[in-house]
């Protein structure tokens, strides 16, 4: 069923000149209504006419990561999916073992689907020069860039950037929630997040907003500028260009990348509408980057690629901070102040070294785009308002 016109993106736009106090210290409730909840058996796993929409929990995982994935599943099932029973989709570059399938199925009442990546989606493209890849990896390693020589890591980043949504198992899906091994979820979530995305016209949801390593992507922004030179018409009216190009907080990042702040959504958590990745704008952008070779000659990750595309080609009001979903992927957290959360220190951004706190790029998001939760908090954030 299609609405004649989509709803306008919801959420406040209070902009904050400086993040003097972490908004996660303020009381956190739920996002605005409408929110769909469990009523009777409307989300029962065996209800064929349930209130679930076309969505899945999605994990790219290897057989040897089974125990770490079980931990992630147990957290997410406990806090959310045991109520809503959305299907799980697991994808691997080799077939899953029977042991893996058996153990994973024990963790949920929801349907589990196991798939292998088509060989042509995982293979190194024909235009990548092997010798140049090795030489480039040597340079990256000298600069302290992790996984430089690990070809499978480059393949994974490329696949997560522009090929995962082409997998046959996802062709009929509209929304997904990406779940990685060895992550934690801390807060009970009592509404259907996928229906929230649809009902509030959101394209992308994040929890953690970071700076990237400029040494891993020195030509990503110049290649993006080349693409925009011929495709400026694709820019969204209400884009997040200022978030992508801020030079004030980390000027050395913008200098090393020739203009990119390196701010990005940490994509090990993302809840998104697949229609964005399938759009002509994103596909053309990914194809341009793919041909440029930076997924192999540098270490372009899916997080900056996704984030730059969203920041340029999508209305920023359609990007949602899931403040109420407590989350950790070592070493960073999203820890709201809520009675629904356990095992997460409110306002904590990292439990690692103190210098890691400067990796938080939310202040720029709030400065240029705004804090959509500012008007929903009972104790409003004490921050300086910006333009």
Give the active site residues. 270
Residues in the chain: 387
Burial string for 7-41 (b: 16+ CB within 10 Å, else e) reads: eebbbeebbbeebeebbbbbebeebbeeebebeee
308/17 Cα distance (integer angstroms): 22
387/376 Cα distance (integer angstroms): 20
Radius of gyration of the chain (CA): 20
Classify 75 in phi/psi space as left (phi over 0), alpha (psi -120 to 50) or beta: alpha
For the chain, report the end-to-end CA distance as a whole number of angstroms.
40
Report yes or no: 143 and 215 within 8 Å, Cβ to Cβ. yes
């Amino acid at each position: 069923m299609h609405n004649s016109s989509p709803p306008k993106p919801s959420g406040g736009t209070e902009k904050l000149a400086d993040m003097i106090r972490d908004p996660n210290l303020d009381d956190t409730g739920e996002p605005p209504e409408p929110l769909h909840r469990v009523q009777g058996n409307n989300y029962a796993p065996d209800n064929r006419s349930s209130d679930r929409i076309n969505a899945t929990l999605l994990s790219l995982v290897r057989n040897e990561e089974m125990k770490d994935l079980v931990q992630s599943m147990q957290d997410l099932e406990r806090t959310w999916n045991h109520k809503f029973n959305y299907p799980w989709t697991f994808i691997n570059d080799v077939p899953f073992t029977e042991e893996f399938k058996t153990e994973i199925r024990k963790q949920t009442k929801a349907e589990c689907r196991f798939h292998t990546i088509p060989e042509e989606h995982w293979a190194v493209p024909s235009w990548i020069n092997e010798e140049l890849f090795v030489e480039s990896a040597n340079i990256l390693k000298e600069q302290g860039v992790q996984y430089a020589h690990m070809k499978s890591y480059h393949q994974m980043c490329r696949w997560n950037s522009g090929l995962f949504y082409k997998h046959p198992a996802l062709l009929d899906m509209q929304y997904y929630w990406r779940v990685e091994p060895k992550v934690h979820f801390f807060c009970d979530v009592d509404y259907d997040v996928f229906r929230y995305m649809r009902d509030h016209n959101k394209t992308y949801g994040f929890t953690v907003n970071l700076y990237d390593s400029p040494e891993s992507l020195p030509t990503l922004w110049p290649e993006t500028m080349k693409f925009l030179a011929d495709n400026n018409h694709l820019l969204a009216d209400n884009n997040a260009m200022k978030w992508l190009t801020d030079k004030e907080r980390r000027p050395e990042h913008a200098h090393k990348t020739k203009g990119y702040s390196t701010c990005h959504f940490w994509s090990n958590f993302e809840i998104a509408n697949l229609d964005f990745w399938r759009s002509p704008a994103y596909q053309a952008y990914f194809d341009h980057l793919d041909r440029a070779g930076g997924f192999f000659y540098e270490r372009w990750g899916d997080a900056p690629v996704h984030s730059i595309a969203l920041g340029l080609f999508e209305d920023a009001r359609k990007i949602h901070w899931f403040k109420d979903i407590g989350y950790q992927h070592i070493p960073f957290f999203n820890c709201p102040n809520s009675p629904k959360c356990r095992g997460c220190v409110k306002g904590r951004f990292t439990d690692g070294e103190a210098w890691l706190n400067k990796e938080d790029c939310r202040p720029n998001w709030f400065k240029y785009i705004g804090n959509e939760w500012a008007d929903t908090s009972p104790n409003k954030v004490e921050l300086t308002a910006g333009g």
